Amino acid sequence: MGILSRFKDVMKVNVNALLDRTEDPEKTVDTYMRSLNTDLGKVKAETASVLSDERRAKRALDECNAEIKKLQRYAEKAVEAGNEDDALKFLERKAAQAEKLNELQAAYESASANAVRMKQMQDKLVSDMSQLEARYAELKGKMAAAKAQQELNSGRSSLGSANAAFHTMEEKASRALDEAEALAELRAGAKEDDLDDLIAELEKNTGKDGAAPTSPPNAEDELEAIKKKLNKKE
């Protein structure tokens, strides 16, 4: 499955929470940014293959449906011509195709779900990278401002007063950052809250909770149905 096997882990990552828990945000940003670039590269590399699988599964499904319809028409024409034995053969072949159709439908749904997952992972990774870049810029700005203030204060007062000014500046910057994060969480909260529902829906699409496939019709029953249909026309 490649990168798709890590879908849940990728989608559950909260960049802001990750940075808030670390003692060295700058190092964490650098490490996680490298990881995101690696994952994004894998997603892009595997997307073409996943989309190809989806198209191939859809084509096989469409061909099977077309074959079933064709065999139905042949059976009806055979009955009209009085060849019930031929009609029964066509309907038996149709029943075999109907059994195959269930498998092809499940394969297509799985391939389609994988394609959706790939798109969601790519969007999530790009979003995480954007958030990391923004947080890194904020951290660098705070560090530069704090250093400049510390250097200014060291030339005017004792070490004790310099430290006090530094802490005051840091607290102000932290409050501003907290307010920005709170606003971002309010805007993104609804989307994150829906994550478990999204994963449950995707697992349902891959067949874990799907409905049981329907049984194909019996050829002899279908033959009788065709005969009744033709009799009504007469």
Q: Cα(28)–Cα(30) distance, rounded to whole angstroms? A: 5
| Model pLDDT, residue 209 | 47
pLDDT digits (tens, 9 = 90+) for 175-201: 666 666 665 665 555 454 555 665 666
> 118-143: per-residue pLDDT in tens?
999 999 898 888 888 887 777 777 76
**CB 15: neighbour CB atoms within 10 A?**
19
Dig out the tokens for 141 from the structure.
């700005």
Helix, coil or strand: residue 153: helix
pLDDT of residue 190: 46
Nearest residue to 67 (alpha-carbon basis) of 28, 93, 36: 93
pLDDT band for 230, please (50, 70, 90 cuts).
confident
Joined together, the tokens standing for residue 39 give: 């994952």
At 147-180, the pLDDT tens digits run 777 777 665 555 555 566 556 656 766 666 666 6
| pTM exceeding 0.85 | no
Q: How confident is the model at residue 202 (pLDDT cuts 50, 70, 90)?
A: low
DSSP single-letter state for residue 215: P
pLDDT at 16: 76
Find where tokens 């329907």 sit: 214
114 vs 98: CA distance, rounded Å: 25
Average pLDDT, the chain: 79
pLDDT score of 12 more than 90: no
The length of the chain is: 234
- What does the pLDDT look like over 41-72, one tens digit per residue? 889 889 999 999 999 999 999 999 999 999 99
